[in-house]
Structure 1
Amino acid sequence: MSLTVQIIAYLFGALLMFAGIMHLIKPQIFKHFIPAIFPKKTVNYIIGIIEFALGLGLFIHQTQKESALGVFGLMLFFLPIHIWDATKARPAIGSKKMAYFRIPLQFVLLYFAYLIYIES
């Protein structure tokens, strides 16, 4: 794996682990991202655990490929949620501009997960 992609893997892993921890200690931040038809607290904790585990997996050479694939799937899963959030009158976190910014950001994160996957 190239040094650049390894750095991306570690930074992405740290970001995911941080987000996972935040899902567990500050669940109220994320509750508005979760559609009302789902049990918000349960979904929030499950996503937090998944994010933390996948982030940790990006730090372990033997699990990087599988973790990158999992991250790719998770970012793909989050994409329609971010699109839905941008269409709401009041986005979950931040302004409308931030909500629209998160959409192309998902594609960047998908690309990073892809790079880690192909180079692992």
Structure 2
Amino acid sequence: MKIIQIVLIYLFAFLMLAGAFNHIYAPETYKAFIPNFIPEQLANILSTIAEAIIGIALIIPKYRKWAGLGFAILMILFLPIHIWDLTREIPAIGSKVGAMVRLAVQILFIAAGWWIYKSYQSKN
């Protein structure tokens, strides 16, 4: 079980760091996901910072508990965007099925962040 958890933690760290990099390298990738009332550049900057901090913290065992909680909170903050995308006539992800899968994955990510947090709660 421990090896699966470590692999998942490093996978999530990679996803967070790759996402942070992509917000800088190709911010237009996220344009369709950002509601009109949120400034696009601000959303990309804040997402970059949050994802980079969480990604780095997941790698460092001392901060892993808080990174798990941060990951869960960030995924909760992104949840309304995925719900909103699912309700659009043409989702940013391309199809209703794709949007439903993305929403399901988002919920799994929330659970995974909470699992990391709870797993490391007694260790710090």
TM-score by length of 1: 0.93
Partner of 2:87 in structure 1?
Answer: 87
Segments of structure 1 that go 5 or more residues without pairing to the other structure are none
Does structure 2 retain, via aligned residues, the 8 Å contact 1:5–1:115? Answer: no
**Percent of paired sites with the same residue:** 36
Higher relative contact order (CA 8 A, sep 6+): 1
Does structure 2 retain, via aligned residues, the 8 Å contact 1:29–1:93? Answer: no
Partner of 1:22 in structure 2?
Answer: 22
Partner of 1:53 in structure 2?
Answer: 53
Structure 2: how far apart are the matches of 1:108 and 1:49?
Answer: 22
Structure 2: how far apart are the matches of 1:35 and 1:64?
Answer: 31
Question: Shift of the alpha carbon at 1:110?
Answer: 1.1
Over 4 Å off, 4+ runs:
none
Question: Shift of the alpha carbon at 1:96?
Answer: 2.1
Partner of 2:117 in structure 1?
Answer: 117
Does structure 2 retain, via aligned residues, the 8 Å contact 1:31–1:41? Answer: no
Aligned residues between the structures: 120
Q: How well do the aligned residues superpose, as a CA RMSD in angstroms? A: 1.3
SS at match of 1:50: helix
TM-score by length of 2: 0.90
Segments of structure 2 that go 5 or more residues without pairing to the other structure are none
Could you list the per-position Cα deviations for residues 72-94 of structure 1 after superposition, in whole angstroms to 9, with x for gaps in the alignment?
A: 10011111110101111222233
Structure 1: how far apart are the matches of 2:93 and 2:49?
Answer: 20
1:3-82 equivalence runs, <5 A: 3-82=3-82
